[in-house]
Structure 1
Amino acid sequence: MTLPTPLDDLLKLAAKTGERLAPLAADTDAGHDNGHESYRVLRESGLLALLAPREAGGAGLGFGDYWRVLAELGVHHGAAALGFNMHHVVIGALADAAGTRLPPAAEAFRAWMLDEVVNGRKLFASATSETGRGAKLRGMQTRYRLSDDGSHYLLSGRKSMVSLAGAADYYVVAAAPEGGGEDTGEASHFVVAADDPGVSFGTVPQLSAMYGTSTAPMTLDEVPVPRSRLYLGVEGMSLFKVVREPHWMIAGYTGAYLGIAEALFQHTVDHVTASPARADSPVVQQELGRMSARLRAARALVHEAGDLVTAQRGSLEANAMVHAAKYVVGEVGPQLAQDALRLCGSAAISRSHPLERLIREAQFAHVMPAKPQECLEYLGKAAVGVNLYDARAFAW
C-alpha cells in the first residue's frame, strides 16, 4: 500500500492500526506470546516507511509529526510503539539527510536501505546497549576490523538489550575499531542481517513489563559485514552525529511514553464516568483536573520540542528541548499512574484491567536513555553555557 502524506490521514491510519494492536497487548504482557504478531501488523500497515522521503515512496514525515503518530500508537499498545520506534531510530539519520547530496558510497547505502524499508517492508532495529555502559557510544566494547582482503568487516561483541530481537530483519550495530583505546569515541554503525553467520540472540529476560519490545541479548561472533553495509559509508562519525543531533538516540521514543500517559488518563476517566455518583464528585473532578493539566503540559512540551527539531535540527535549543520533553514525560507518566491508583482503586491493580499494565509500563520511561538525571544535567549545562557540541562535555 502507498502511505498517505497528510498528517491527519496518517493519524487516522495509526489509530486504525492501533485498534488492531490493542487486543494483542494483554497476552504479550502476560507472556503468552512473543509479541511478534504486533510487528506483522505494523509491517502490513505500511507505517515502517513514515520517515522515508516522499520521492522514495514514504510519507516524508518530520520529527515532530512522527512523535504525534507514535503517541497515537502508544495509546493502544505501548510496548509495540516502543519497538516500532527502534526501527525509526535507525531510519532517522537517512530521513534527516533527505535532499542532501552525499558521496557515492553513502548515496548507494541510502538508496538500498530505503528500498528495503519501502518496497521490501523490512524491519530494522538498533543494537547499541552494552552491560555497564547502557547506550553510550564512548567506550563501546563491541569491536570491528577490516578483513585481510579488505572486502568486508568482522564484528565481535555482545549487546545487552536489543529490542526486536528475533523480529527484525536487520540490526544497526554500534562498534568501535579493534585496537582502539578503552575510551575511544570512534564508534561506527553497521547493518547486520538477522541471518548473518555468527549472529545469535539470548532469551528475553524476566521483566515487570514491556515484553512486547522483544528485548534480549545479542551476540556477534566474527560476523562478516559487507563494506556496503557500513552505515552511510563512513567510519567513526557516529559519536559526532549523536553529539550534534541527539534527538533520535536520546528521545525518539518520547512519543510512545506520551501515548501511554494519554491512555492512563483516558482509562481513568472511563472508569470514573462509569459511576455517575463518582463522576459528579467535586473532589474526583479536581483529581481528574490535576491529571488533565499535567498531561496537557507534557503534550504541549512534546509537540513544541518535536516541531523545533523539524525546524531547527541540531540547534542547541532544539537539543535542550528534546531533553526537557523526555524528562517531563518520564515524570508525568508515573504521576498519572499514582493518580489512577488513587481514583480507581482495585481496578488499577487488577490484571484484567488495562490500567494495571499501563501503570507498570509508565515506569519504564526512567530506564530508557536519556535517563532523568542525564536530561537534567544536559539542561543544566545548557543553562550555564557549556559547549554541548563538545563531546567531552557530556557522558555520550
Structure 2
Amino acid sequence: MDEFDTYDAVVIGGGPAGATAAHELAKAGRSVLLLDREGRIKPCGGAIPPRLIRDFEIPDSLLVARIRCARMVAPSDAKVDIPIEGGFVGMVDRGPFDEWLRERAAMAGAVRARGSFEAIERGADGVAVVRYSARDRLGEGGMPVRVRARLVIGADGARSEVARQEVPRSDEGSFVFAYHEIVRAPQAGADYEATRCDVVYNGQFSPDFYGWVFPHGETASIGTGSADKGFSLRSATAALRDASGLAGCETLRREGAPIPLKPLPRWENGRDVLLAGDAAGVVAPASGEGIYYAMYGGRIAAEVGQLFLSTGDARVLQQARKRFMKAHGKVFFVLGIMQRFWYSSDKRRERFVSICRDRDVQQLTFEAYMNKELVRRKPMAHVRIFFKDVAHLLGLARV
C-alpha cells in the first residue's frame, strides 16, 4: 500500500459543498485531494442570498445579476410582485462559480484531480483506499488511480455513489427531477426584467413543484421540476417559455438532474466517510434552494472532519448532521409541509400566491431567506400570519 499517495482527506465532488469542504480543510493545514468529474453543470437557478455572499466571501465579479424583485404567478395568471427591500439576491452561473470555488480550494493547498469515483476499498490496515478513473482536461484517459484517505467526504451529488456504497439508509431520500434551458436573454418584446425572478405556480408547468424564469445577465434560466416521473419536463418548459414570451430566444444549453428534497437520516458510515451537500440531501423543500445549504454543510463537514482527524474518534462524524439540523431542520420541516399542502392542486396554488400579497408574509419570508434565520423579533406579525393562513385553509379568505 505504500506506493499509493496518502491524504488526510479525499473529497469526492467539486460542487459548492465539496469545494468548500476541501478549501476549509486545506486552509486548516490538512492534505486534501479534491476529485471532480468536471464538464457537467447542474441545473440550478443560481440564486445566492446575502448571507452566503458574506459568510463565504464571494466576490462581486461572480455575480451575473442582482435580483431586486420576485414575481409569484398563480394558475389564473394573477401576479404578485414582492420587492426585495434594502438589498438584493445575487445570481451566479454554476459553471464559472463552481470552478472558482474549486480553484480557491487549490489556492489553499488542495490537490485537484479530474476523474470519476468508482469505489472505496480497504487496505490491510483498515485505511480507506479511494479508487477512481482519472481523466485529462479533454475528458480522455480512464487510467485507474488509487489513493489512501484517513477521511472521505462524499459530495458527489444526488444519488451519491459514495452514499450508496458506504452509508446505511442512503436509499431513503426523496427527489424532484429538475430540468432547465439556458437561453439568450431577450432584448425586448417580452414581459421579462433582468432584475426580477419569476416563480410560476401552475399545474401545467409542474404538478407538485414550480416553474421559473431567472435572469443571469446576458442569459436566462427557464425550467421546472417534478417528482412525477411521468411528467414531461421538456414539454412543460417549452410551454413555460411560450407563456413567458421567450419561445423565440436562442437556446444555449439544456440540463437536467435529480434534486434531493429531504435530508438523509444518516450522513456517515461510523468509520471514516461523511456526506455533504446534495449527497446528504440538503436542498430546501418548496424553494429548491441548495447552494447556501451545500456550502454551509461543506463547512460543517470540514470542521467535523478536522475534529475526527485530530482525535480518531469516528463518533464525532455524527455531529455534522446534528449541527446542520439544529441550525436549519425547523425551516426544512416547515417548508416540507408547505410544499406538500400548497403545491398539491391549482386551487391551493392560487390561494398560496394570494397569501404572498400579504405584507407581513413578504417581510418575514425575505428576512428569513436573506439571513437564513427564522425571524423571531416580530411576534405579532407571526400571529397575524397564523390567522390569515387559517382563513385561507378554511376558504374564508378571498383569493
TM-score of the superposition, structure 2-length normalised?
A: 0.28
Point out which structure has higher relative CO (alpha carbons under 8 A, 6+ apart).
2
More strand by percentage: 2
TM-score of the superposition, structure 1-length normalised?
A: 0.28
More helix by percentage: 1
